[in-house]
Chain A
Amino acid sequence: GQQLNQSPQSMFIQEGEDVSMNCTSSSIFNTWLWYKQEPGEGPVLLIALYKAGELTSNGRLTAQFGITRKDSFLNISASIPSDVGIYFCAGYNNAGNMLTFGGGTRLMVKP
Chain B
Amino acid sequence: GAVVSQHPSRVICKSGTSVKIECRSLDFQATTMFWYRQFPKQSLMLMATSNEGSKATYEQGVEKDKFLINHASLTLSTLTVTSAHPEDSSFYICSAAGQGFYGYTFGSGTRLTVV
Interface positions of A (Cβ within 8 A of B): 1, 3, 31, 33, 35, 40-45, 48, 88, 90, 92, 97-99, 101-104, 106
Q: What is the CB-to-nearest-CB distance from B23 to chain A, in angstroms, rounded to a whole number?
A: 10
Task: Tell me the nearest residue of chain A to B91, going by C-beta.
Answer: A40
- Decide if B101 touches A42 in the complex (CB within 8 Å): no
Q: How many Cβ-Cβ contacts under 8 Å join chain A to chain B?
A: 54
Task: Tell me the nearest residue of chain A to B4, going by C-beta.
Answer: A42
Q: What is the CB-to-nearest-CB distance from A2 to chain B, in angstroms, rounded to a whole number?
A: 10
Total contacting residues, chain B, CB less than 8 A: 26
Chain B residues 39 to 76 lying within 8 A of chain A, measured CB to CB, are: 41-46, 49, 59
What chain B residues lie within 8 Å of A104 (beta carbons)? 42-43
- Decide if A42 touches B108 in the complex (CB within 8 Å): yes
Interface positions of B (Cβ within 8 A of A): 4, 6, 9, 32, 34, 41-46, 49, 59, 91, 93, 95, 97, 101, 103-109, 111
Known interface pairs A1-B59, A40-B109, A98-B49; A88-B44 also in contact (CB < 8 Å): yes
Highest count of chain A CB atoms <10 Å: which of B32, B42, B104: B104
- Decide if A33 touches B104 in the complex (CB within 8 Å): yes
- Decide if A103 touches B111 in the complex (CB within 8 Å): no
